[in-house]
Chains A and B, each alone.
Chain A
Amino acid sequence: MNRRPTLLSLFTAFASIGIMSFGGGLAAWIRREIVQRREWLDDQQFLSGYALSQLVPGATNVNLTVFIGAQLRGVPGAIAAFVGLTALPVAIVFGLGLLYLHRSGLPGGGAVGGVLAGMGAAAIGLNLGTGIRLGRLHIRRLIPFAVAAVIAVAIGVLGFPLLHVLAVMLPVSLALTWLDQRT
């Protein structure tokens, strides 16, 4: 097992992950490439890093990328992996943004509105579907269900700012989980 890849191979590995990961599902791609194909990490290291990436704020997959890069080659490795993952997608998104902002002069510009409205409505469904999926997987008891429901309603329906809701619900969830464990 080669445990110290070069910075260049870290960069190219994550560049290929970044470009293949259309429509989300990045974590699955990262696992396939880093654990299964290149064997830079074993499954337990990967899962530990994935848990941490979800715990620390920030985009989970970007966190996971930084974790793996740092694990293998320290700070330079983290930077190489991060730049590899994001460089091409950023260029593509920026290009799409240019097309979007100047689309009035393009042929077929009128249909873009309908296409984006449909994709946006479906993309909202992806978020809600992810929440349901994770809930079915991780929520087995009343207390975590109530915590998730209160947060979803407070921010999603009532429009409270994230900071206010987290300031209340993070300590509440910690306290309730701690009490729940002791009984």
Chain B
Amino acid sequence: MIPTLLQLALLFGGLSLLAFGGGTSVLPDMQRVTVSTYHWLTGAQFLDFFAISRAAPGPGSLIVVLIGQKAAGVVGALVAFLAMFGPSSTLLYVAALIWHHAANTAWRALLERALAPVAIGLTLASGLALIRGTEHGWAQYAVTAAATLAFAFTDLHPLALLAGGAVLMLVAGH
């Protein structure tokens, strides 16, 4: 129990400080370590948790609550939650103090421009890694492709796309 809590704290505390471009960027690492290294859950369960956290209200990174819960119950969920948001929030607070003094400086503009493509690459990588980490059948590929195009090029609400995916999958399964 205690070792598991320590592993949860170290894993999510580390990922918290690596999540450039938002919580999705650490999903590939999260999937690799929680599924393959620690065996807290299967690849299919990881994708289920990802779906639940995307459909529920609040930040998408709340997937860590589900992983902590599966690994070590209520305490695990709490440890995972605090580890995922504590370090990055503290860093943000300190950075905000500097940020105000850096308005209109050259290095701030450079930082903003250089980090944008990194964040975009990480976002795309998270989608690709999730496909790789689960058994994606033809029906899933079709749903993923349709949702990708719909979300990139229309203003459909994310919840409508999640619901559409669920309906398509139920129809395809019967």
Contacts and interface: CB of A to CB of B under 8 A. Distances in A.
A71 B143 CA distance: 42
Interface in B50-69: 50-62, 65-66, 69
Interface in A137-183: 138-139, 143-145, 147-157, 159, 161-163, 166, 169-170, 173-174, 176-178, 181
B47 A130 contact: no
Contact of A144 (B20, B51, B117, B130): B117
Interface string A28-55: 0000000000000000000011011111
Given A75-B93, A97-B70, A156 B57 contact: no
B134 A122 contact: no
Contacts of B7: none
B152 A133 contact: yes
Contact of B117 (A54, A119, A147): A147
A127 interface: yes
Contact of A145 (B112, B115, B117, B141): B117
Contacts of B113: 144, 177, 181
Contacts of A147: 117-118, 121
Contact of B28 (A54, A133, A159, A166): A159
**In the complex, which of the residues A19, A89, A145, A156 has the most CB atoms of chain B within 10 Å of its own CB atom?**
A156
B6 interface: no
Given A24-B60, A63-B88, A121-B136, A159 B151 contact: no
Contacts of B87: 58
Contacts of B140: 117-118, 120-121
Given A119-B165, A148-B120, A62 B54 contact: no
B113 to A, nearest CB: 5
Interface string A101-141: 10000000001001111111111111111111111101100
Contact of B110 (A20, A25, A153, A177): A177
Contact of A129 (B26, B27, B129, B149): B149
Contacts of B123: 127, 130-131, 134
A118 B160 CA distance: 12
A176 B114 CA distance: 8
A154 B122 CA distance: 10
B52 to A, nearest CB: 5
Nearest to A115: B166
A152 B22 CA distance: 15
B19 interface: yes
Interface of B: 15-29, 32, 47-62, 65-66, 69-70, 74, 77, 81, 84-85, 87-89, 91-93, 95-96, 99, 103, 110-132, 134, 136, 139-141, 143-152, 157-159, 161-170, 173
Given A96-B56, A155-B121, 10 more contacts: A78-B93, A90-B62, A97-B70, A123-B51, A124-B50, A128-B128, A139-B120, A147-B117, A157-B128, A161-B29
9 contacts: A52-B95, A53-B92, A57-B17, A116-B166, A120-B51, A131-B123, A133-B151, A157-B132, A170-B115
